[in-house]
Structure 1
């Protein structure tokens, strides 16, 4: 025996799987049986003919009638040593009872499901013992109703036809007294733990259950407008239920229906009305609660499956539901607008009408336009996963459902809208962003869609002007009336206003991505960890900063600017390199929550590899020229021309000076004059380079070239990198009449300063598009960039700048732009180009 029990225990999971599979097969079989005996077209005709409020009332009564059965499981779990949580009990109880109602098989499925749900923490023997006691009381309620029905048949003024059921009613009424006698026999110790309170609760629950069943059946008949006596229907229903139970047919399908049809016909209810009555009763008491139970069962099983595979199934299902939601909202919204714009197309062409909401003929023109455009707006909010869009989407869909039911009931459209609503609920976890930030990609798509729909509506109006005559008549362009078209146009204007208000609501948030420049905080980080060639740009104050902190201490710093939905990060971060990956992830998460996508401009290959692991693509933008100042010399053939120019300047008494801050007012005036002439009226640029700002220039040394009279003719401001690896400059400007070798002289002297101060390299800056896309197998975008490099001299001296810097450069370092894979490269580059060339604010 022990071996047998051990063998069974090892195969518990297999038996559970077989049981659940069997339940699934039985459920499918019963649903198919109901489907065969149910005419969907007839059901739709009946529901359409009924008043919408009557249909809603039937649904509410049916759901309320199921609720008393939930107390069975509450009482059952109170008898167990390990009590599950109440929400879990209520959920599983609904599943068990609605499935058992449909296909009970004498309670076998009910017992099996309860064992599956509650037998995990409780010993199986204890569960079966408690369950066997509770199940005995399930029939107590109908037994009481059998006695009441018998009294109605014998002493009430009922139809003589009901007297033939007296034997069934007597048999049913005996069950409850016999049960009380058995459970209170002292020699039967099995029921000792069933107190009078628990028995009263079980009997009360059973009585409420059958009261709900009767209420549902009677309510359906009354809401149909049928004339019958409640005192006659109650005994008939109870007797037919007893007959159905004795037949052991799941849900009493067949035997109950036949007996009820015969009985109702005998009581004067027309046969067709009786058929519809039973059909609606099964729909609202059996099928709809069962459908809800099936959803709860799917959710329950899905949770277990999801936990087993670390949340991956739930995430995948949520993403699929989200995709389906966005698609359905856009399609439904577009079709609703089109149904109001070209109504003839939806009525004259069956292929179009078959797949559109307009085919249900439930909406007038104005609601079609309103619901259509609002669904498109909800589609955008859902597509961007904005948390604030969730409830408005639910409310809009519920409003649409109510409108359909109220205006002209359409069963098919209700199903469609409920499915979309289900997609919303299933994808709720996808709604996490704080606000909506419109990207250029979204503006392009939505702009084209909205403008196309509105333009089509205007064209239809012009086409239908009374004085216009058409040689070829397009029926689908015919509009019912000019008045309706004008009303629709006014609706579009009103709806557009609502869309703007809704868009503002979604995009409004007090949460910011980063913070403005705090110089003390920045300097503390740079002093501890050092910086790079773009660190000094922080002090321009034209960008925002994002700090990554560890235990409240800033350890990594990003500088960026926002353009639409792009967070354009200038250069690489500064700070503790060991925290870069964690900082990138934190920055991405915060940006994504707010609806922004990160783009990193001018970053090196090593940093690009970190970004690539985070889902970024990249594009080479050019190369930076580095001069090894420790080994630099002007000697040799390569720099012969440079030596000649510098020697000439020396002979003309041009002098280089390295000036440390603070600077005099007179010097700043001189440098301002040089800068203004250099700019020649053009606006200063910012973002990726500095601009003439006295406060900014006063933060670092400046190298100047002076003529023999001591007048400054050229200058370059140093950009501290806060490390000893490299030195670089920002602005390099000179008078137009300065000697031709002034830039070479300035560079070579700066090389000497860098060498004296112990730097290894001098960074001469970018050569845009240098060595980009020259290989045959380069990315397509990079090959296009190479074409611009080769033939774009008219717009920018790409090759000239590269050739000039190559005179001095001892190595070139590639620079890249990294952008998200789901982002448009074209729009990203345009936004970068605009930002880089934008005048300073």
Structure 2
């Protein structure tokens, strides 16, 4: 949410900043400058861009060395180049680039923790490089930069020198000890690697600045003065979270150099820079991924296994790049419809085509621009329906670009889009209709701002038109370009509004039916054929079940409001997961809902990233390594004391098989009822086990008696593989010994060890490990605050401390959800599902 607010605030400020700038731009002069940019300047800009991206790739190579990973040589090239290209174009540069790198590096065997360290190393190097490069440039040209900024020269020199000293001190003296961020440790990099990373960041920034500087009109400034302003503009653009800092970056450049050159010349240089440094790498990246897709489709067996995994992972990234390009195509068509056509091209058309063809082509081209903006979302989500629509409208737009004004450049770009769509066809494998897709409020707001931006461009391009006369709307002539553009803009605005109203009239939200006895029996068979014991939560019967086409896997899920929330990863063979996840996301979207997966494991995140979902950390799960569990040594002293104290208090332990529960079921019910009364609560559901005799009857029961009276118990979820066990329900009476639960778990672990189990899950500690870090989202900062100050509302720290007594390995658990704000809304809806009173049906359990 904070990111979205930052984006919109930055965008609104940019609009106001450009309000005064637009008045000084002469559109015809702007077009003339753009058409007559020196070829040498364009060539130097392209060369500088190539050097900059080579440095970016070098940063990834250095980061791979830092984490000590052995990878195919192509991996850092693809991750560094494609990740940066997508981050520049799509916004959220760090997060988007991180998602690409996670997918690439994860596919070739790099562990999640090492990927996180790699990303932090790159981000820290970039931040230091930006600070050092900007400080050095400002210090070298303090007088010129101070004049541009309107600051005192002495103040700028002091600030620049301080920045350089801080960077130098940090590199030379501050990288000696590991950096601890909560439970995460970032080892101190060797000085030579830190220096290389800093140098590569500097080369990247120098080259990026040079790519724009060579395009600016001569005499605007010397390079070092410009580089200082460029660094400030880049930093502000990154903070704004807008794609490539668009608007913010331009506003800063105009503010600093507007008096040194004509506004139309600066605008032309900025537009050319955007095309060279942002659009070209994005298209090259998409083309590279398309080549990987073709290679994968051909089925080359000449590469090693790691190379094959890299090719597959790269190919699976293609829809993200195609979606960004489709969105950019929509913007291009809207702007094209709002600006005049070259007069000599219209003259050629007037001799070959009737007027109604030109008018219709211009109008339909803008409408298709709006369609592209919405189709882009479907392409992100790999929808095959979106792919078919994109192919159709790209073909139509290519033809219309020629018939509306012989727009050869526009047609060439659309030809590239068509080629990319055709070559990546297999990656759009979700059998989902575009018409069943839901759009977020943020998406509509973005489309609305783009329409407003196109309108602003129209007003600049046709500044001399008389908008007070009603006849303007009804002028139909070859040279009546203002009326034509005005009608096209109005049509685009009406279509965008109509789609918005159509979204308000979505079909019914859909139901999440309870499973019947047959479905539960089917699920029970699948559960017992795999190792994940927590899958037994499906047998509570309070969650709906979605089975794969093969019938060998299923998803358990609940629904609240518009949130469709799957609990855990899919249950069953991994080869069925892709189809199941795709179907679930499609099912939620077809009813105007948002899909989410609750408490998924780190090694499975790639499946959800491929499905276009956002990921956030929920907490950490305590997993006791039963096979290596020992009661000897200082670390287990408190557990030995709990056993001795429990024996003095008259505690005894027994582990009951499911068929042994009947004689004690009434005692268990009494313990459960007493526990609920003492907590002044009722049975929960969804991810929390509830007391239901049928459910309990399918599990082992760990029972503790005090002086022969049952006082505490826990249910143990297992499968037939007998590898993993999980705690389900745990209850005790208010009068039980204060050591009853420690006694129970210690005895249980010892018994499971003798039964040759490998692990015991004690459950998730919410918000454990959700701590702020340089690449953290706002959720991590909020989670850290709740963890620190939320004890009066929930005993977060106490729960973690209790489970820590058994020396577990803490494994992260995540939420994967769709939409920008979807994860936050989903968390609230998940809490609502958990808080619902459990209303099971005993016939389900008997049937299972």
TM bucket normalised to smaller: 0.3 to 0.5
> When the two structures are superposed, what TM-score results if normalisation uses the length of structure 2?
0.42
Q: Which has the higher contact order (CA 8 A, sep 6+)?
A: 2
> When the two structures are superposed, what TM-score results if normalisation uses the length of structure 1?
0.42
Larger Rg: 1
